[in-house]
Amino acid sequence: MLRAEDYEQGRYEEKKEITVQERNLWETVPAQDENYQSFIVRYNQNVEGTVQYESDRTFQIIDDMFGVTYVPASQVPEPLISSFSYFSVPKCYTYMDQGSLGASGVTRLHEHPYLKLKGSGTLIAVIDSGIDYRHPAFRNGDRTKIVSIWDQNIPGGLSKEAPFGRVYNREEIDRALSEENPLEIVPSIDESGHGTMLAGAAAGNGIPEEGFSGAAPQAELVIVKLKPAKQYLRELYLLPPEKDIFQEDDIMLGISFAVKIAFQLKKPLAICIGLGTSQGSHRGEAPLSQYISSVANFSQNAVAVSAGNEGFARRHYMGRMGENKQSETVELQVGPRESDLGFSMEFWGEAPNFYNVVIQSPTGEKLPVSAALKRETQELSFVFVETRVLVNYIPIERRSGNTLIFFRFLHPAQGIWKLEIEGRRGSIDRFHIWLPVRGMISDGTFFLEASPEYTITSPGDSPDGMTVTAYQHRDNSLYIHASRGYNTDNLIKPDFAAPGVDIKTPLAEPLGGYGNASGTSLAAAQTAGIAALLFEWSVIRGNEPFFSGTSVKNYLKRGAVREENIQYPNKEWGYGRIDLYHTFELLT
């Protein structure tokens, strides 16, 4: 077995038996290597008893529950999706977007003669596409407000700061800002501009001449630029190659990085997650959702998560089996883009029912899905259309106990496909089918009779994270694309609403300047900034030193604005519209 000392300077030339390929294999970081696959594991649940684990190049500890193991692709057995592996295979996430601060009561607190809350002494972490650190919203001359940037995409091995990629600290960023070409020193950029927008909405400097300010303009920033999802995951889930898509384990490692930075600096931390996926059971059981709940329960940590923009995207179907109804037909329109690229889809049927499924093509040809091939991938090949459907039928998914059927349509014919669903028991149970979220599938593929309910994206289904929907602050109307609750365990989600329509945000180069954007991820960013203001009042000023993310959520619930003619909590607004000023009014 190769050892680290085999590659000490001067020794490589002496060991002639070690090939160049072996040396490259050692130097390549598995997390960034397409020849390795990632699995999220609960490493502390060991049947052999207590084991001392340490992070290395093939295993990374996230917290005391979760870790990521990297396995050579050649050693991964088929099928990748099974009852045992579904939970561990990283899911894929993308952006939840397409004069707002006054509506949240933030501006009045910035200007209040006694409170003057602006986030001083706090940290806000944005786990997203990176940041344009050169933008005036994040600098004062040659001084940055960014504590650290972890760029997961820049090649780099395990270091004391991060398991892979490259970390740039405040001193390096300041030095870059003082140079004519900053990117020669800190070459981290935000290609999509999404992370820059979120960081600006949460903690951008107040710039009066632009009429702009982040929710917590004196908070400092921790930035994680996520690397793109690996090709094997894109192929597994049949995701478009040109889209910005990120994988679950990298997001979890990004959160862990931010938590460690906050611990080292002894500062309270608000985390913004503006990403989402429709994969999973929507019960808050995915590793990322569970990890967010764990982080939010710690003192001086809060996590704001976007609710998603899937409300009227027509990518969710809900059916119900009953005593007098044991079958249902689902109609699915497949558009031209998916006819070329294919797509994946997940069926989740509630226990204790079991489900039979027959797939009908647009030409009327029917093929049944076998419920007997539990650990094998079924291939359904249609004769009259050049379509194959790969199916993994999991009668009892290990985490939820529900039935999972994972579909992959390869070159599906355009037109209306039908799924004939039949329950095998007389119980009253629901089933759900989710297509991928916007950005992972075109608008030309949708259910003809879709349901806007239960469209909160993961990790917005996390029980203890703050799930935030968006509204138009000018007329107090709900954002038209906002996802609706609850989660499938009927846990109240979203928790509340924040402004998220036509929000003024900083724009990354090459655009630069400022522009308007909409989406629930911007509402989550503002909420992260609002959490920082609460941390300034509670922790920094000593009013509530052990304030946690759960505390922040409960305070914001209590102060939320509710209309008299609407019953709360509800599936659209949660507990109402955030009003931090009203929260402080109630405290006094």
- Using CA atoms, how far apart are residues 330 and 449, in angstroms rounded to an integer? 8
Task: Using alpha carbons, list the distances in angstroms from residue 290 to 248, 285, 552.
Answer: 12, 6, 18
Model confidence pLDDT, tens digit, residues 520-559: 999 999 999 999 999 999 999 999 998 999 999 999 999 9
* 129 beta partners: 225
∠ CA 162-166-167, rounded to 5°: 70
> Which range is least confidently modeled, 47-56, 96-105, 128-137, 377-386?
96-105
pLDDT value at residue 365: 96
List of residues 6+ apart from 9 with CB closer than 8 A: none
Please report which confidence band the pLDDT of residue 574 belongs to, taking 50, 70 and 90 as the band edges. very high
Q: At what angle do helices 287-296 and 549-559 cross, to 10 degrees?
A: 80
The region that residue 138 occupies, defined by phi over 0 for left and psi between -120 and 50 for alpha, beta otherwise, is alpha
Residue type, 303: V
Which of 188, 521, 538, 551 is the catalytic position? 521
Q: What is the mean pLDDT of residues 560-565?
A: 92
Q: Which of 36-40, 164-168, 263-267, 369-373 has the lowest mean pLDDT?
A: 369-373
Instruction: Tell me how far apart the alpha carbons of residues 437 and 434 are, in angstroms, rounded to a whole number.
Output: 9
316 a catalytic residue = no
pLDDT confidence tier of residue 426, bands split at 50, 70 and 90: low
The residue-averaged pLDDT of 32-50 equals 81
128 is written with which tokens?
């997203």
pLDDT value of position 159: 81
Label residue 156 by pLDDT band (50, 70, 90): confident
- Confidence class for position 25, pLDDT limits 50, 70, 90: very low
- pLDDT tens per residue, range 70-113: 999 999 887 678 766 889 999 999 998 753 444 545 555 565 55
The token duo for 148 is: 């650290």
**Using CA atoms, how far apart are residues 453 and 485, in angstroms rounded to an integer?**
6
Considering the chain, what percentage of its residues have pLDDT values greater than 70?
A: 90
Q: What is the mean pLDDT of the chain?
A: 89
Cβ(165)–Cβ(150) under 8 Å?
A: yes
Catalytic residue among 82, 97, 129, 194: 194
Is 518 a known active-site residue? Answer: no
Clarify whether 432 is annotated catalytic.
no
Residue 490 pLDDT class (50, 70, 90 cuts): confident
pLDDT of res. 281: 93
- The partner residues of 277 in beta bridges, in order of sequence, read 458
pLDDT of 18 > 90? The answer is no
Which secondary-structure segment (H or E) carries 529? Answer: helix 520-535
Report the pLDDT value the prediction gives residue 520, as an integer from 0 to 100.
96
Judged against a pLDDT cut of 80, whether residue 287 lies above it is answered with yes
Is pLDDT of 239 > 70?
yes
Q: Are 406 and 391 in contact (CB under 8 A)?
A: yes
Sheet of 246-247: strand order equals: 246-247, 92-95, 275-276
State the catalytic residue, choosing from 38, 100, 128, 256.
128
Q: Is the pLDDT of residue 268 over 60?
A: yes
Q: Would you say 227 and 29 are in contact if contact means Cβ atoms under 8 Å apart? A: no
Ordered by start, the domain boundaries in the chain are 19-91, 101-311+458-587, 316-447
The pTM of the whole model exceeds 0.75: yes
Instruction: Select the more confidently predicted residue: 268 or 516.
Output: 268
pLDDT at residue 2 tops 60? no
The CA distance from 320 to 313, in Å, is 21
Per-residue pLDDT, 9: 34
Distance CA 95, CA 275 (A): 5
Residue range 101-311+458-587, CATH number: 3.40.50.200
Are the C-beta atoms of 362 and 385 separated by less than 8 Å?
yes
pLDDT (mean) for 483-505: 92
Q: Is the pLDDT of residue 449 over 90?
A: yes
Architecture of domain 316-447: Sandwich (2.60)
Res 10: pLDDT: 35
Listed residue (371, 353, 224, 287) closest to 63, CA to CA = 287
Q: What is the CA radius of gyration of the chain?
A: 24
Q: Given a cut of 60, is residue 199 above it in pLDDT?
A: yes
